[in-house]
Amino acid sequence: MATGRILGAVLAGGRSSRFGSDKALALMPDGRTLIDHAMAGLAPHVAQVVICGRAGGLPDRPAPDMGPLGGLNAALHHALAHGFDGVLTTGCDMPLYPADLPVALIGEGAAILKDQQLLGWWPATLAPDLDAHLAEANNRSIHGWLDRIGARVVEMPGLVLPNINRSADLANLSS
C-alpha cells in the first residue's frame, strides 16, 4: 500500500456524444454538477484533485482528444512532477465514489474496479510507459493499456455504481 501522497484525477475529456450536452456540467438533483460530485468523492482520499481533459484543468497528453488515456497520462505526469506516488481516477460521470475503494485499489501496480476501468489506481512511475503506449499507432484503448501493464482487477461484490452516459441515465437516477 502506498504511504505517500496521492493525486486524485477526474477524467473529463469526453465528448458526451451519447449524453447530448456536456455531461460533466449536468445537474444532479441536489443542484451540484456531476463533475462536482466526482471531485467531492475523491477529495477525502487524496492530497489534491485535478480535472483532466477540459478547459481550466490538465490538458490531455500528448494531444487533445486522446480519450481517457490522454487524461490519465496528464495526471500521471503531473503526479510524477509534483511528488505524488500515484493517481486515483474517476470519470466525471461517476457521481458516487465508494469510501472503501481506495484501500481495495491501492497496492502493487495498477488496479481498476471490475467493469469500471476509469475507477483506478495508477503508480506515477507508469507515466513513461503510457507515453510509449500512446505513441504506438491506433492504440488508445484503455483495455489495451490495462493488458499491457497487467493491471489488477478488483471486485467489490454487491457494489452497484451509477454510470451516466445518456441524459435518461441521469433522469433515472433522479427519480
65: buried, middle or exposed (CB in 10 Å: 19+, 13-18, 0-12)? exposed
pLDDT range class, residue 13, cuts 50, 70, 90: confident
Backbone phi, psi, residue 43, to 5°:
-50, -40
DSSP, collapsed to helix, strand or coil, labels residue 51 as strand
pLDDT in tens, 148-173: 999 999 999 988 887 776 666 666 66
pLDDT in tens, 107-138: 999 999 999 999 999 999 999 999 999 998 76
Residue 65's pLDDT is 81
End-to-end CA gap in the chain: 39
Bridge-based pairing of strands 116-123 and 86-91 is antiparallel
What does pTM read for this prediction? 0.88
- Give all domains of the chain, ordered by start, each with its CATH number: 6-174 (3.90.550.10)
